[in-house]
Amino acid sequence: MERTLSLPAVEAAELRLGQVVVDPPVVLAPMAGVTNAAFRTLCREQGAPGDAHSVRSSGTTGLYVCEMITSRGLVERDQTTLDMLVFDPGETRRSVQLYGVDPAYMARAAEILCTEYGVAHIDLNFGCPVPKVTRKGGGAALPWKRRLLRAILEATVKAAAPYGVPVTLKTRKGIDDDHLTFLEAGRIAQEAGCAAIALHARTAAQHYSGTADWDAIGELVEHVDIPVLGNGDIWEATDALHMMAKTGCAGVVVGRGCLGRPWLFRDLAAAFGAAPPAPLPTLGEVAAMMRRHAELLARYMGEERGCKEFRKHIAWYLKGFAAGGELRQSLGLVDSLGFLETLLARLDPAEPYPMAELGNPRGRQGSPRRVALPDRWLDDRDDLRIDTGAELGISGG
Ligand SMILES: Cc1cc2nc3c(=O)[nH]c(=O)nc-3n(C[C@H](O)[C@H](O)[C@H](O)COP(=O)(O)O)c2cc1C
């Protein structure tokens, strides 16, 4: 289906994270359980220069961040952590998100990533709103402890510096509206030598509810000299251009908008290259994408596990299409590529893309809730105590 879009003009200066040029200035958001090697590959294939709709051909690409790993998991060689550090041969620029609360462990983990995994970029996650993490003072609760945040950032940047690997910080606006941390975190990140700061413009209390506060992204841009990456509620390529025009941010981080829609990266590459968007995929083309996704998962995880892992993506891919309930249910039980193929063959390949889905939120929405914090957490912002339990049970941002 052909599309015409009215696009705001964006003066996108080159996005540079240290030596890493990100062009177009688009980052695949780290998403636990989603942005594994298979999904990153799928998104990268869509966004890659050389694609008919990507007119930029400077030899660089967007950045596709791996699922988050913990510093303890890596330093202690936990098998689940190591299993997440898998990269496609085409991933010439490895980007990993790291989380931890102990500067020494973070430094050691950064060094391992640089020396043993050849990463080109490390992102640090201080945006997780999950109660079992914030209750221990981790995730989005941690930036409240500004000295500890500084110590973690400085240690990680210092450990990565000899390898020329840029470190970025990803965070939220704060704990809640009364306890905002993003402006101070931005300054700390800048002073610690971080190459950029990404802001998911919600508080932890908001979880994924409501709308992202793009004005806060603009405020952060005014407040720091390092590049700011805007994050939150980019559902279509045009949203990315709007966010950049409205906030002056240097680039965008795209999460839920690409769930079941890896071609969003093709659209983003086109939009930033001022090229017309590609036609929207028919159901047959979506089915081909689903097949490719499942095959990639099978390649990295084995067929059965890969197919089971693929199940969670099915509703996202089929959102808005007329595919019947019984077929969807069967797809939800898929455990082999052959079975998947049989089921995909039952979809109507000519069914056009459901236009009503364009611009709609997808993935997690959640509802606001009080942020669980350790006792008296808010009393002393300069406390340097560490609760290693804050590294256990973390699951995203
Ligand atoms: C399934 C899922 C997993 C996520 N996991 C992480 C994570 O591991 N690290 C992180 O920094 N953010 C994580 N996030 C948050 C996203 O990176 C992003 O900040 C958030 O979804 C807002 O962006 P969006 O509106 O483009 O989705 C996760 C989000 C989702 C939906």
Q: Which of 63, 68, 128, 200 to mutate to test the pocket of ligand 1 (most atoms within 8 A of CB)?
A: 200
Could you tell me whether strands 63-70 and 26-28 are parallel, antiparallel, or unpaired per DSSP bridges? parallel
Q: How far is the CA of 381 from the centre of ligand 1 (A)?
A: 26
- 396 within ligand 1 shell (Cβ under 6 A): yes
CB 171 within 8 A of CB 158: no
Q: How far is the CA of 284 from the centre of ligand 1 (A)?
A: 29
- 238 within ligand 1 shell (Cβ under 6 A): no
Respond yes or no: is residue 128 known to be catalytic: yes
Q: How far is the CA of 96 from the centre of ligand 1 (A)?
A: 14
Calpha distance 282→148 (Å, rounded): 50
The answer to whether the bond into 277 is cis (omega within 30° of 0) is no
Calpha distance 27→2 (Å, rounded): 26
Q: Which atom of ligand 1 is nearest to the CA of 172?
A: 19
- 34 within ligand 1 shell (Cβ under 6 A): yes
Segment (H or E) for 67: strand 63-70
Q: Which atom of ligand 1 is nearest to the CA of 232?
A: 25
Q: How far is the CA of 349 from the centre of ligand 1 (A)?
A: 31
The DSSP secondary structure of 304-334, one letter per residue, reads HHHHHHHHHHHHHHHTTS---HHHHHHHTT-
256 vs 52, 235, 272, 339, CA distance in Å?
25, 8, 20, 27
Q: Which atom of ligand 1 is nearest to the CA of 254?
A: 26
pLDDT of residue 53: 38
Calpha distance 115→361 (Å, rounded): 39
- 32 within ligand 1 shell (Cβ under 6 A): yes
- 206 within ligand 1 shell (Cβ under 6 A): no
Calpha distance 341→134 (Å, rounded): 42
Residue 71: partners with Cβ closer than 8 Å, 6 or more residues away:
98, 99, 100, 102, 105, 106, 108, 109, 391
Q: 35-53 burial by CB neighbour count: b if 16+ within 10 A, else e?
A: bbbbbbbbbbbbbbbebeb
- 170 within ligand 1 shell (Cβ under 6 A): yes
For residue 199, what is the DSSP state? E
Calpha distance 238→8 (Å, rounded): 8
Calpha distance 56→307 (Å, rounded): 34
- 254 within ligand 1 shell (Cβ under 6 A): yes
Calpha distance 127→30 (Å, rounded): 11
pLDDT in tens, the chain (397 residues): 556 555 666 666 689 999 999 999 999 999 999 999 999 999 999 987 544 333 334 445 789 999 999 999 999 999 999 999 999 999 999 999 999 999 999 999 999 999 999 999 999 999 999 888 899 889 999 999 999 999 999 999 999 999 999 999 999 999 999 999 999 999 999 999 999 999 999 999 999 999 999 999 999 999 999 999 999 999 999 999 999 999 999 999 999 999 999 999 999 999 998 888 899 999 999 999 999 999 999 999 999 999 999 999 999 999 999 988 899 999 999 999 999 999 999 999 999 999 999 998 988 888 899 999 999 999 999 988 888 777 776 666 6
Q: Model pTM?
A: 0.94
The pairs formed by 382-385 with CB atoms below 8 angstroms and a separation of 24 or more are 382/145, 382/146, 382/147, 383/145, 383/147, 383/148, 384/145, 384/147, 384/148, 384/151
- 68 within ligand 1 shell (Cβ under 6 A): yes
Calpha distance 340→313 (Å, rounded): 13
Cα 19 → chain centroid: 21
Segment (H or E) for 210: none
Nearest to 174 by CA among 200, 153, 192: 200
* Structural tokens at position 103: 């500067």
pLDDT of residue 365: 82
Q: Which atom of ligand 1 is nearest to the CA of 29?
A: 17
Q: How far is the CA of 100 from the centre of ligand 1 (A)?
A: 17
pLDDT of residue 55: 36
Nearest to 300 by CA among 10, 131, 86: 86
What is the number of alpha carbons within 13 Å of residue 107 lying toward its C-beta?
Answer: 12
- 129 within ligand 1 shell (Cβ under 6 A): no
Which residue among 114, 128, 194, 249 is the active-site one?
128
Nearest alpha carbon, ligand 1 atom 15: 397
- 397 within ligand 1 shell (Cβ under 6 A): yes
Nearest alpha carbon, ligand 1 atom 3: 31
Nearest alpha carbon, ligand 1 atom 29: 31
Nearest alpha carbon, ligand 1 atom 2: 31
Calpha distance 222→247 (Å, rounded): 9
